[in-house]
Amino acid sequence: MTVKQFFKSNAFKSLAVLLAIVIIAGGLLAIFNDLLFVSDEERFNRTIEKIYGGSATVEETLTITDENGTFDKGAVSAAYKMSDGNYLIHSSGKGGYGGDVYLWVVVIAENGKFGGIEKVLLDTSDGETLLGNFRDSFYENFTKHNDELVEGKYFGTSGSDVINNVVTGTTLSSNAMCNAVNTAIDFFKSAVLGEEVVSYTYLYEKYVDMTQTTIERDFAANSVTLRIVMQANGIAPSIAFDVTVKDGAITAFEATKPFVQQYDETKIDESLRNGTYFVGKTAEEIAAALPDGETLDPAKLEGLGLATGASRSSESFFRAAAFATANFEAFFAPENLTYASYVDFEQSTFTWNYTEGNEVKMHIVMQANGIAPSIAFDVTVKDGAITAFEATKPFVQQYDETKIDESLRNGTYFVGKTLEEIAAALPDGETLDPAKLGGLGLATGASRSSESFFRAAAFALSNYTFYLTGGEQA
C-alpha cells in the first residue's frame, strides 16, 4: 500500500471527510455559542419589555438573602421596585411536574400597603412542555382576586379558606403555580412591608403565644380545655386564660391572676374578669364584638354593658375567647395535632382497646420524606408510654438496611422513652439533626428515614390522650 495509494483509499477519505465535518461543526458551534450568548441581563430586559412594553423601568433592585428569600412552598430569586411603584418579583413554586415552576409576579403596592397582583408571567418551567404565552388568559385569573388577597387569603388548590380553581388547564403544576404566587406575596409582605408573615393553622393565632398555650382535647365529651397565653397587646401585658369550650360554646372562662398586679382591676368589668360574660357565648357572638377580626371598638363596650377603659386588655380577653371558640372544630382536626404535619391521615388508623382500658393501638403511615419513601409504623401506647413500636416491612427493600440502626428498626429504642426524650432529638419539632443520631448511640446516615421514625414516635406519645377518647373502638 504505497503512500499515494493510501491517500486515494477509502479509509483515508472517510477519515479526512469526517474530520473536516467535525472541525467545521465544532468551530461553528463554539463561535456561535460565544457570539449568540444571551446574557442574563439581556434576558431580564426582555422580560421587562414583555411585561411593561417599555412603560416602566427598574428603579431599585432589592437584595435577596437566604433568610428573606426562602419560604416553605417556594423561593424568591430576584425582586425589583419599578418606576410605576409596583414590585416585580421573580419567584419559584415547589411541586411542579418534574421540577419547580418559575414566575414573574407584579405585586401592586398602593401607598405602602399590599394591593394585590397586577400581572403574572411564566418565566421558564422545566418539565412543562408548553405553558408559554399561548395561553395568557391562563394567568389573568390570578389578578382577579385582589380584594380577597388584601384580606389575607392565599391561592391554593384545596382547603376551605383559599381562593381555588384559579388555575385551569394543566392541573399537574397548578399547585406549583399557586405556591409561586403565594411566595411572591409573602416575600412582598415580609421583605418590603416588613410585616411578620407566618402561616397560621388557627384563626386569631397571630395574638396567641402558641409556645406556652396547651390544648387538652376530650373527644368523648366533645369539649376542649385550653390554657391560652396571649401575647402582649401594645401596653397591655400578656394575659393567660383558662377556657373550656363544650359543643362550640364557652362553659368556663377565667383570667388567671398574673395580669392583675400589672393593671388596675376597676378598669376591667367584673363580668369579664371572672368570665361570666363569656359563659355560653358562641364563636359568632364573640366575633361580632371584633368587627374587623382584631380590634375591639371601645364604644361598643357600653353597648355590651361593660365598663369602658382598659380596652387593650379587654381586647385580649375577646381575642382569647374568639381563639377558643372559632377554632373549635380545628382543634379536633387530626392535622393540627402536635407533630402531625408529616402523618398521612388517609392511611393511618387508630384503635382504642376498651378491655385494656387506657391502651391505644396506632397504625401510623408517614408521608414520604424527601427521597426516603413513606414508612408505616405499628405503635401501641399504654398509660402514656410506648409499649410496642415496629416499622412494618414496605420501607426495607427500597432502602439499605445497614444504614438504619437495628434498635430503631425493631423499635426497642423507643419502648419506655418519654415524650421529652424523643422531643429532645427533634429540636424544632420536625428536623432530626443527623449529628445527634451519633450522640444517641445510633448508626448515622439514612437521616431522612430515621427522622420519620422519631416523628412517628413523638406523634404517638403526644396525642395519646386525644386518641384515647377519639380513636375507634377496638
* Minimum distance, C-beta of residue 58 to other proteins, in the bound complex (Å): 19
27 in contact with other proteins (CB under 8 A) = yes
The piece of 197-205, 320-328, 398-406, 408-416 that touches other proteins (CB under 8 A) is 398-406
Q: What's the one-letter identity of residue 413?
A: Y
Cα–Cα distance for residue pair 88/333, rounded to 1 Å: 38
Cβ closer to other proteins: 332 or 399?
Answer: 399
Which parts of 1-20 interact with other proteins (CB under 8 A)?
A: 10-11, 13-15, 17-19
List 6, 7, 30, 418, residue binding other proteins (CB under 8 A): 30
368 in contact with other proteins (CB under 8 A) = no
Task: Tell me which residue of 218, 273, 227, 211 sits closest to 246, measured CA to CA.
Answer: 218
398 in contact with other proteins (CB under 8 A) = yes
Residue 30, Cβ density class (10 Å: 0-12 exposed, 13-18 middle, ≥19 buried): exposed
Residue showing cell 375507634? 472
The piece of 126-134, 190-198, 241-249, 383-391 that touches other proteins (CB under 8 A) is 126-134
Which parts of 49-88 interact with other proteins (CB under 8 A)?
A: 50
Task: Tell me which residue of 200, 232, 205 sits closest to 316, measured CA to CA.
Answer: 232
Cα–Cα distance for residue pair 293/309, rounded to 1 Å: 20
Say how many residues touch other proteins, by CB under 8 A: 46
Task: Tell me which residue of 295, 235, 291 sits closest to 267, measured CA to CA.
Answer: 235
Catalogue the E-assigned strands of 198-357: 214-218, 223-229, 240-246, 249-255, 349-353
329 in contact with other proteins (CB under 8 A) = no
Cβ closer to other proteins: 59 or 400?
Answer: 400
Cα–Cα distance for residue pair 203/153, rounded to 1 Å: 12
List 21, 260, 388, 474, residue binding other proteins (CB under 8 A): 21
List 1, 2, 5, 35, residue binding other proteins (CB under 8 A): 35
Task: Tell me which residue of 134, 136, 143, 119 sits closest to 52, measured CA to CA.
Answer: 119
SS3 383: coil
Which residues, 6+ apart, have CB-to-CB distance to 15 below 8 Å?
Answer: none
371 in contact with other proteins (CB under 8 A) = yes
* Minimum distance, C-beta of residue 130 to other proteins, in the bound complex (Å): 5
42 in contact with other proteins (CB under 8 A) = yes
Binding residues vs other proteins (CB under 8 A): 10-11, 13-15, 17-19, 21-23, 25-39, 42, 46, 50, 129-130, 132-135, 168-169, 371, 397-403, 445
